Structure 1
Amino acid sequence: MKALTWHGKGDMRCESVPDPRIEHPRDAIIKVTACAICGSDLHLFDGVIPSMERGDVIGHETMGEVVEVGPEAKGRLKPGDRVVVPFTISCGECFFCRKGYFSGCERSNPNHAMAAKLWGHSPAGLFGYSHLLGGYAGGQAEYLRVPYADVGPVKVPQGLSDEQVLFLSDIFPTGYMGAEFCDIRGGETIAIWGCGPVGQFAIRSAFLLGAERVIAIDTVPERLAMAKQGGAITIDFRDEDVYDRIQELTGGRGADACIDAVGTEPDTGSGFDAVIDRIKGATFMGTDRPHVLRQAIHCCRNFGTVSIVGVYGGFVDKIPMGSAINRGLTFRMAQTPVQHYLPKLLERIEKGEIDPSFVITHRASLEEGPELYKTFRDKKDGCIKVVMKP
């Protein structure tokens, strides 16, 4: 089959790889009908995620049609079912899965010891996202093996298109979780850093949950325009001081909650700390660039919440914990337990409360994928979200 594969920093290729096969009785094989390039895939493309190996099949936003089912998954799936596949691989039986914390699954990462050395404990395995998280082949391919298929994939109702439900695999639940972490009761002002796909869903999710105002921070015109279409007040951080503008909008109090939807690779061109972060990264003295996180902490009101859904990989420094502890901030963060959110977000789509396809700007084939990685990374041609149809 054809698949997108990683061959080093900046080197994605579309090439032939072996077809997946049933390896465990709980597996299923799906024929991929739609997949997407995620912002966190760019961290792979940029070479900042450890333990990638040349030839790894990438991608974790996937849906398709079931073509083969292992004997222990047949009670839930059958050939011909249309399914969307969560990017988190979860057993459904361990301590964390039973509590709904599917992204903390204790069983799905075969390389849990490797992850524990870096993070203390291992999270769940993920599709197409390094051997640190299991080394599973990803879904930017013609076919995908789905482990624990009796737990993960969710059947798609008739009448909904691939483009309406594909993003239930990751970015819609991630953006929604980021907003839910803000404990929105109604009437709040929520500030969101990053107007990429996850940020766009965080904007709309904040309004769905009852926020009165959303302030969206970015510098890419097309992203800011989409955020404004979603009802947000926008700040271009190259034209305005973010802290001063948020102070002005909130009467000096600060935002009720702040969402970091950027993570480890912010596109920040100003600020002394941002310059230091870049120098550390270039000289291998640091793993992440947490400029956005620092700014979110300073912009949050006393006893507010900082919600982190952007990807960080290792260790961050110069975090203003003095500000956070003295002002009573709450931090909420997670790799999204997609299986927890997917059913209720699917219901919102069915009711017409949101059509997630609004975020798509580019549609392509797998063969066009490597070039579109560059377009997406460089924010060219108005690219916000790429969907590929193998």
Structure 2
Amino acid sequence: MRPLTGTRPKVMLPVAGKPILEHLLTECAAAGAGDFILVVGYHDEAVRNYFTDGSKWGVNIRYVIQRQPAGTADALRQSSHLLGTAFVLLNGDIMLKSVDIVPLISAETNLISIVELPNVEGKGVIETRGGQVVRLYEKCTNPPTRLANAGVYHFTGDILKFVQQTPISPRGEYEITDTVQALIDAGIPVGYRLVSTWSELSYPWDLLQANESALANCPPSVEGMIEPGATITGSVAIGDGSLIKAGSYITGPVKIGRNCVIGPNCHIRPATDIGDDCHIGSGVEIKNSIIMTGTRIPHLSYVGDSIIGQNCNLGAGTQIANLRLDKKTIAVNGINTGRQKLGGIFGDGVVTGINASINPGTMVGHRARIGPGAAAKGVLAPGATVY
């Protein structure tokens, strides 16, 4: 998820105006879960300060610190003193609906949630027989099935004995898949259940698809002010204290946070999420993008299929291209995104000068600077300067 995780944990990245982890927590709460243990480490203060004790969501949250990212089995080991005889374990970087969580909460046996995918490359894979899981493979090169591990489990207390015995893997982590395999090898049955609503957020561009899907289900609301002469069509949510100035044209689904100034004479197209305290000004066009809190795009700029971090400032005439001339799918740092359209991925605090140009698929590290008239492409390190 770099460069977006240069200043925050992955689970706090926004989708439709809320952190990934909040979406997961609210779906778990809707399924009937009331007690949560959040295992935190990198920038744990961001998680703690946002969720506090969970009372805002009507749940109880406790925290466990994992000082080094040593794998999911290690996270479970660190939490074992707080766990009962049965619990649900979830990866924090997935999107899931309550309909697929309810059966886990009510389960009485060990269960793994799985999803059938056309391509399981780079994912954990499950092999089954007779309604039970018989083997788990962690990112194997020749997967025997297309059943991917969804990172969502129901465990009985049996797992806690085996997690203490889990050895470190060749990747240098304590893998939960090794723990579950030990459980199976000891003759303790592990079932499985197909999920229907799962998505994994592995790369920055995955956020765009998740954001588009989440916004499609957001109801319209207007808590701010809309000047005469502004045009609002489709499902658009406008936060408290925000002002939509005359000449602005907004086509939903769009979500705009609190205390924003939008316009005059800008065009905000579908699947765009704008955070709190943002300014989108005259002659600006934005489509299918995530604009995080405190960012300013005040004059004559285009932002398409992009993610712009917090407190960025785009100079007048900044253009972020989102389509190759040959219209081929876009690769980022050697990884094929599978997307024909992808703009820029900016970390926090990025500044561009007037008439800056950003090539499709450019990754810009936090606090980087792109000078007036400069063209940026590829991967820019945090704090880099391009003239």
Answer whether TM exceeds 0.5 for this pair.
Answer: no
Q: TM-score, normalised by structure 2?
A: 0.28
Q: TM-score, normalised by structure 1?
A: 0.28
Which of structures 1 and 2 has the bigger CA Rg? 2
More contact order relative to length (CA 8 Å, sep ≥ 6): 1
